[in-house]
Structure 1
Amino acid sequence: MSQDRMSEFWVGGIKRVLVGKIEPGHDLLSALRKMAEDAGIEGGVILSVVGSLRRAVLRNVARFPEQLPVTDAERLYKEVEGPLEILSVSGTIAKEGGKAFIHAHICVSKVVDGEVTVLGGHLTEGCITWVNVEIALAEVEGVEMRRMIHGERRTSELFISPKRFKLNL
């Protein structure tokens, strides 16, 4: 890959928007994945996640590894007990091994000693919904979104390409 190329992008559009609600006591990441799989989303984005969590598990990179990929030895998993308000969830939905893969980051707030504290990180399993969580996902059309291992970095990354259409002639 050329070092001169800073980024790549393809233009697509929004095919449809799915709106849903997760009841209390469910894992947020698992519910997002199930919603995407049940709807047959092969590529998409998380538009909005609003609600509260009983508990969160946040993952962050604690230090740079000597070489990629980043492993759990370089990561910090932080368990945070609620109540927590979900301030933001952003991410992508792509196919990996034939299944929906959610790559998302989450930002939550918590009251600590009478002050509001904001925490964030990679959305992992273990983020349990409290009262309810409202979700909006967008399915993307015109581009193919796949997660694969990058050849040089050996990390799971999003690969984007123009969607190939079959012609029935």
Structure 2
Amino acid sequence: MEFKKFGSKYVVRLDKGDEILNSITEFCKQTKVSLGNITGIGACDKAVLGVFDCKTQTHIEKEFSGHYEISSLLGNITNLNGEPFVHAHICLSGSDYSTIGGHLHSAVINIIGEIIIDTIDGEVGREFNSSVGAEALKF
């Protein structure tokens, strides 16, 4: 992973073998980024996506293997228990041009990842919201 800062934005390059969420979390620790937006594109070969089941209040996860273009990576950076927390969704397209998407649990870059992190001054935390069964923004 390499990155460069331009004003309030960072341009981040992830390399083959980098896991997206771990890399962004490590980036946040290195740069002290505690609040921001994430956008990105690239390619991956292993991904675990989830869809939140409101009835059971759990993520239903599915693993995908093969070559996928990252058509869209969107997310945010906040804090949970004093640590960077990355919440991201991803859309992947396969060689047959079909797309899959959902909550990103993990994805490993197989060619390159190009990510823009737009930082925001301030800090927003998260806390468990029992009515929805998930970590919600805490202002």
Q: Identify the TM-score tier after normalising by the shorter chain.
A: 0.7 to 0.9
Contact 1:49 1:135 in 2 (8 A): yes
Q: Which has the higher strand share?
A: 2
Superposed CA deviations along residues 109-152 of structure 1, whole A, max 9, x for unmatched, are 012xxx31100011113x110111111101102x4311112264
Unaligned runs of 5+ in 1: 1-14, 161-169
What's the TM-score, normalizing by structure 2?
0.87
Match of 2:128 among 146, 149, 165: 149
Match of 1:119 in 2: 100
Match of 1:40 in 2: 32
Structure with larger Rg: 1
Match of 1:138 in 2: 118
Superposed CA deviations along residues 80-108 of structure 1, whole A, max 9, x for unmatched, are 11210001111110011111000110011
Secondary structure of the residue aligned to 1:26 is coil
Superposed CA deviations along residues 47-72 of structure 1, whole A, max 9, x for unmatched, are x21110011111113x4316xxx12x
Secondary structure of the residue aligned to 1:124 is strand
| Counterpart amino acid of residue 88 in structure 2 | A
Contact 1:53 1:131 in 2 (8 A): yes
Unaligned runs of 5+ in 2: 1-6
RMSD: 1.7
* Number of residue equivalences: 133
Secondary structure of the residue aligned to 1:30 is helix
Secondary structure of the residue aligned to 1:144 is coil
Match of 2:88 among 92, 104, 123: 104
Contact 1:43 1:146 in 2 (8 A): no
Secondary structure of the residue aligned to 1:135 is strand
| Counterpart amino acid of residue 50 in structure 1 | I
| Counterpart amino acid of residue 123 in structure 1 | L
| Counterpart amino acid of residue 103 in structure 1 | H
Instruction: Work out the CA distance in 2 between the residues paired with 1:16 and 1:80.
Output: 34
What's the TM-score, normalizing by structure 1?
0.72
Instruction: Work out the CA distance in 2 between the residues paired with 1:31 and 1:95.
Output: 16
